[in-house]
């Protein structure tokens, strides 16, 4: 089964109806149809929350979190293995620490990272990336 890891970028774009939002919606449909599994680090969930909070306020950010409960996304807490892999990526430079957790999760799950954030170019040789 295909494994998808979502960075915060495409999920925020999904909620804000960016040009690629339908592609993300299609991943959700595939997961519902059991054609793929979607994962997201809780660190990146925090990114979705603070980004939405900063741009649209507390009420909207809480609605987004509530809506996410109904999406077919498996949230993964950062454990020791993921934290150390994220630290390895951060030590290379050129990528935010939160983004390192999305990359680490993709590597550990042997999945495809879905993102539009160009910071991930520095790990492109190490993990599969699906650019939106």
Q: Per-residue pLDDT averaged across 120-132, rounded? A: 96
Angle between helices 58-68 and 8-15 (to 10 degrees): 110
SS3 37: strand
Q: Which residue has the tokens 């997961």?
A: 31
17 vs 81: CA distance, rounded Å: 34
Please choose, from the candidates 81, 84, 72, 94, the residue with its C-alpha nearest in 3D space to the C-alpha of residue 27: 72
Q: What is the pLDDT of residues 48-87, one digit of tens each?
A: 999 999 999 999 999 999 999 999 999 999 999 999 999 9
State how far the Cα of 8 lies from the Cα of 74, in Å rounded to an integer: 14
**pTM of this prediction?**
0.95
pLDDT computed for residue 107 by the predictor: 98
Domain parsing of the chain, residue ranges? 2-131
Task: Give the pLDDT of residue 64.
Answer: 97
* Domain spanning 2-131, CATH class: alpha beta
């Amino acid at each position: 089964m295909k494994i998808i890891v979502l960075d915060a970028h495409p999920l925020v774009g999904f909620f804000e109806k960016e040009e690629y939002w339908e592609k993300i919606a299609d991943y959700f449909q595939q997961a519902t149809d059991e054609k793929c599994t979607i994962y997201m680090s809780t660190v990146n969930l925090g990114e979705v929350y603070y980004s939405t909070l900063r741009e649209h306020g507390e009420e909207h950010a809480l609605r987004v979190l509530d809506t996410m409960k109904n999406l077919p996304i498996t949230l993964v807490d950062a454990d020791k293995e993921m934290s150390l892999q994220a630290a390895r990526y951060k030590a290379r430079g050129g990528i935010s620490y939160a983004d390192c957790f999305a990359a680490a999760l993709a590597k550990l799950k042997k999945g495809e990272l879905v993102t539009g954030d160009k910071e991930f170019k520095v790990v492109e040789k190490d993990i599969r990336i699906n650019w939106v």
